[in-house]
Amino acid sequence: MNHSSQANTQQGGQEEAFELAVNLLRSSRRVAVLTGAGVSAESGVPTFRDAGGLWEGHRVEDVACPEAFERNPAFVWKFYNQRRAGLKTVLPNAGHHALVDLEQRLGTGNFTLITQNVDGLHRAAGSVRILELHGNLGRTRCTGCSRVEDRSGETLTDLPACPHCQSPLRPDIVWFGEVLPAKAWEEAEEAVRNCRCLLVVGTSAVVYPAAGLIYLARAVNAAVIEINRENTPASSLARVSLFGPSGQILPQLVTRLGAGDDA
Ligand code: OAD
């Protein structure tokens, strides 16, 4: 990694880092964005790994997996019902809104928002071109008839059954050890292959295959811009890292991008 081509705010170069990020975005007709739980943190949605990756003392990987659901579906539903209940009161934050502005600025055909989040907040904010890699908390999927339904806003029991075939329902979430939805994944790979710049926001960049998109961006010579509160494995792949809360950094970045329009 050529160190002189990197800039980051932790090394005191915040102004320089913003300038570089703005220049990279200005020279990129096509932009892809990969978001993770950090982008929703300022909306009050808990991230997965900031609390040590534990839920009631259990590793998230041991709750969000098919084996846990087979062993004890009520335990898994309790975790997801807590997260579903939390969603009722949350709203998109300034970071989500800045990504809507960025899409409008570039045009939907030149912009793809790839998210690992299952909270639906990008759509609530108004983003149009969204690929949800890990499913959506609002939806259920029947383990019998496979029907997928939007049950957002409803309170579900800890053992909900399909209203059509009475088989157990599961959250329409991609669990550890499961395959990502093929269409969303193919489109995500294509978006990254065709972008000039990949913005990586609020993800610990440790869960694959999503994190592999950052390597794919590098492989096709797209510039990676990272926004996070701290260093992650993506930092060493990024041309520039902007350290801080995405609810503040993203709006600043998009405002600066607009500011030079007349120049
Ligand atoms: P993590 O919880 O692993 O990481 C959240 C990241 O956001 C960390 O790197 C934090 O430093 C950063 N962060 C926290 N607050 C922030 C803020 N206000 N602004 C910017 N960054 C902030 O979440 P993900 O990377 O999304 O999968 O986790 C990936 C996947 O692992 C999730 O989709 C989920 C999880 O287990 C499934 O459920 C299948």
pLDDT tens figures, 214-249: 999 999 999 999 999 999 999 999 999 999 999 999
Whether ligand 1 lies within 6 angstroms of the CB of 178 is answered as no
- The arithmetic mean of pLDDT across residues 159-175, rounded, is 97
Q: How many angstroms separate the alpha carbon of residue 89 from the centre of ligand 1? A: 20
**Ligand 1 near 41 CB (within 6 A):** yes
Question: Which sequence positions are flagged as catalytic?
Answer: 134
SS3 per-residue string spanning 101-166: HHHHHHCHHHEEEEECCCCCHHHHHCCCCEEECCEEEEEEEECCCCCEEECCCCCCCCCCECCCCC
Instruction: List the helix and strand counts (H, then E) for the chain.
Output: 10, 12
Section 94-99 average pLDDT: 98
* Ligand 1 and 133: CB distance under 6 A: no
Express each pLDDT in 170-209 by its tens digit. 999 999 999 999 999 999 999 999 999 999 999 999 999 9
- pLDDT given at position 236: 97
Give mean pLDDT, residues 7-30.
Answer: 84
Please tell me the predicted confidence (pLDDT) of residue 3: 37
Give me 186's structure tokens: 């193919």
**Residue 40 CB less than 6 A away from ligand 1:** no
Neighbours of 62 (CB within 10 A): 13
Q: What is the pLDDT of residue 251?
A: 98
Model pLDDT, residue 48 = 83
Distance CA 14, CA 117 (A): 28
pLDDT surpasses 70 at 13: yes
Task: Report which protein residue has its CA nearest ligand 1's atom 26.
Answer: 36
Using most ligand atoms within 8 A of CB, pick from 204, 206, 242 the residue to mutate for ligand 1: 204
Average pLDDT, the chain: 92
Q: Residue 53 Cα, ligand 1 centroid: separation in angstroms? A: 10
CA of 245 to the centre of ligand 1 (A): 12
Model confidence over 137-159: pLDDT tens digits? 999 999 999 999 999 989 999 99
Alpha carbon of 29 to ligand 1 centroid (Å): 27
Q: How far apart are CA 239 and CA 191, in angstroms?
A: 19
d(C-alpha 68, C-alpha 76), whole Å: 7
Q: Give the C-alpha separation, 186 to 89, whole Å.
A: 33
pLDDT(9) > 50: no
Q: Is 8 in the pocket of ligand 1 (CB under 6 A)?
A: no
> By three-state DSSP, how is residue 203 classified?
coil
Residue type, 72: N
Residue 190: predicted pLDDT: 98
What pLDDT is recorded for position 12? 54
Average of per-residue pLDDT across 254-261: 84
20-32 pLDDT, tens digit per residue, is 999 999 999 999 9
Q: Is 232 in the pocket of ligand 1 (CB under 6 A)?
A: yes
